[in-house]
Amino acid sequence: MTSPYRLLKQSGECAARLGEVHTLHGVFPTPIFMPVGTQATVKGVTPENLTELGARIILANTYHLYIRPGHELIRRFGGLHRFMHWDGPILTDSGGFQIYSLKDLAKITEEGATFRSHLDGSKLSLTPESAVAVQEALGSDIMMCLDTCIPYPASREEAVKATALTTRWARRSRAAQRETGQLLFGIVQGGMYPELRREALAALVEIGFDGYALGGLSVGEPEEVMYDLTEAIAPEMPADHPRYLMGVGTPENLVESVWRGIDMFDCVMPTRNARNGMLFTSQGRIVIKNARYQDDPRPVDEECGCYTCRHYSRAYLRHLYMAREILSSHLNTIHNLHYFVGLMAGVRQAISEERFAAFRKDFYAGRAAGDPEGA
């Protein structure tokens, strides 16, 4: 099996690495942050905005698109790329986390997951085979195996049982995959037990996937636990395949996880926080509704070159937010995504120039220099 990943440089300072992933809709560099477009849209922005701010790959969600508008409708429109007017790579999550988060409406069996739609209560199901079939209909570049997400905390017995089920589902997912050119990633579960993670990873490598993801993190565990698990498992993931940490996270999480050898990230934080008026800057976070910005003429971040920072003041952005104008979410989202995407571009350049340790130090120094709110 030929890997879609090409390693360009291994850092001499840490486990960080520079690479690229080849897909049906183009090549994207790693480490990379993927904006989340759950329902075939990255909330608040257009595909043209995403291209302008430097996004190279986005994420959409199998569960949500399966429920509405339906994968067969999207197939009839020529696939997800044509349906949403995005011509770059797309990764689709399998829906396992959404089923986990709706556990009161779902039942997990050996066969798969049965659940009630959060929209109308209708009874639906996803199996490892149907999750792959739905993603093939969507036409995503990277598909994820259906998995069972383990809550935190969980007993070792619970983690063993759920991890074994995820591995069996992974084997079925791989067997169900057709020759479409789409990539399929396996998901390493195991809860907060490193030895279970290692066993799960070994089983997935034996099956053989195009990439490997760490799932079931950022589910309420302390950050130190997440970092320790990532540091323990990431270097053991195949060096010639992409490594993906699912659902993570803050800017600090990204920098620390790249340091530990992770290549790919996604999180709703930049878009969700933008709608809630929290903006990310090189000196920390800004809560734009605060009265201190009422007559502040500065851009959100004086070191940022995004469309929002080039044209609008903090005072204007506060006014939009307080007036509940739709434009508030649009401009805030452009800025936050530009920050996350730009952060990873800076990370890649630092790894390329063998100065990621200095970059990491400066990253934290910028935050320490900010005021108590962060900017």
* Residues involved in catalysis: 93, 266
HEC profile of the chain: CCCCEEEEEECCCCCCEEEEEEECCEEEEECEEECECCCCCCCCCCHHHHHHHCCCCEEEEHHHHHHCCCHHHHHHCCCHHHHHCCCCCEEEECCHHHHHHCHHHEEECCCCEEEECCCCCCEEEECHHHHHHHHHHHCCCEEECCCCCCCCCCCHHHHHHHHHHHHHHHHHHHHHCCCCCCEEEEEECCCCCHHHHHHHHHHHHHHCCCEEEECCCCCCCCHHHHHHHHHHHHHHCCCCCCEEECCCCCHHHHHHHHHCCCCEEECCHHHHHHHCCEEEECCEEEECCCHHHCCCCCCCCCCCCCHHHHHCCHHHHHHHHHCCCHHHHHHHHHHHHHHHHHHHHHHHHHHHCCCHHHHHHHHHHHHHHCCCCCC
Show the tokens assigned to 120. Answer: 């109308």
Single-letter amino acid code for the residue at 364: Y
CA dist 166 and 143 (Å) reads: 15
Query: Which residue from 283, 252, 270, 272 is spatially nearest to 347, judged by alpha carbons?
Result: 252
Task: Residue 291: count other Cβ atoms within 10 Å of its Cβ.
Answer: 8
Show the tokens assigned to 225. Answer: 């636990």
Residue 27 CA from chain centroid, whole number:
17
Residue with tokens 């049965």: 114
Residue with tokens 């995004």: 306
Query: Which residue from 171, 175, 165 is spatially nearest to 108, judged by alpha carbons?
Result: 165
